[in-house]
Amino acid sequence: MNIFFNIGSFPLAEGFGIQTNIFETNVINLAVVIAVVVFFVGKNLSSLLEDRQNTILKNLQEAKNKALEAQERLNKAISQLESAKKKAEDIRQEGISRVDQAIQSCTNQHEERLSKLDDFKEETLQFYQQKALKQAYMYVISRIMTRVRERLNSGLDDVYHVTVNNFYVSRFTEYNP
């Protein structure tokens, strides 16, 4: 055998050479690049995608948990608001009740004081009427006594004197102040 090959014995279209069809060359080159990327980068890329998927799932779960917590806090706040509204209504009703009781108490006290004042007025009027009547009786009696003395001192006879005295004494005994 001949160690040296004759270059002229190889056909030009066979074997390695310059490919003039650019589309086929680009497809082959792209396939080679994709194969290299998938072989070397595929594992790392799938690992990164799995980590990203886990992170997203974890974030979604945390968001769901936070949403549940927020809903629980909202429900608790709503129940506290309802409780506060009920307490405020109870306090308002109690305040109205106390005001009504205070008004009723003041009205009752006022009516009682007016009643006592009317009673005191009546007692005062009766006292002053009795005092005025007593003074009038005393004045009338003193005038009568004065006239009786004048008549008695004017020189009446004994019989007339006794008759007049008996008449006035009987009148005084009938008098009841």
Q: What is the pLDDT of residues 99-135, one digit of tens each?
A: 999 999 999 999 999 999 999 999 999 999 999 999 9
Is residue 24 in some structural domain?
yes
pLDDT at 4 over 50: no
What's the pLDDT at 18? Answer: 64
pLDDT at 98 over 70: yes
The string of DSSP codes covering 135-149 is HHHHHHHHHHHHHHH
What's the pLDDT at 45? Answer: 75
Q: What is the pLDDT of residues 9-35, one digit of tens each?
A: 444 455 565 656 777 788 888 888 888
What's the pLDDT at 170? Answer: 87
Is residue 84 in some structural domain?
yes
Taking the complete model, does pTM exceed 0.75, yes or no? no
Place of tokens 């001192």: 153
Is residue 2 in some structural domain?
no
Q: State how far the Cα of 41 lies from the Cα of 32, in Å rounded to an integer.
A: 13
Is residue 139 in some structural domain?
yes
Residue 105: burial class (beta carbons within 10 Å; 0-12, 13-18, 19+): exposed
Q: What is the pLDDT of residues 46-65, one digit of tens each?
A: 788 889 999 999 999 999 99
Angle value at C-alpha 71, between 55 and 56, nearest 5 degrees: 10
Is residue 99 in some structural domain?
yes
Is residue 13 in some structural domain?
no
Q: How many domains does the chain have?
A: 1
Cβ-contact 137, 177 below 8 angstroms? yes
Average pLDDT, the chain: 84
Q: What's the residue count for the chain?
A: 177
Task: Report H helices in 154-174.
Answer: 158-174
Q: What percent of the chain is predicted at pLDDT more than 70?
A: 85
Which residues constitute the domain of residue 158? Answer: 19-174
Is residue 82 in some structural domain?
yes
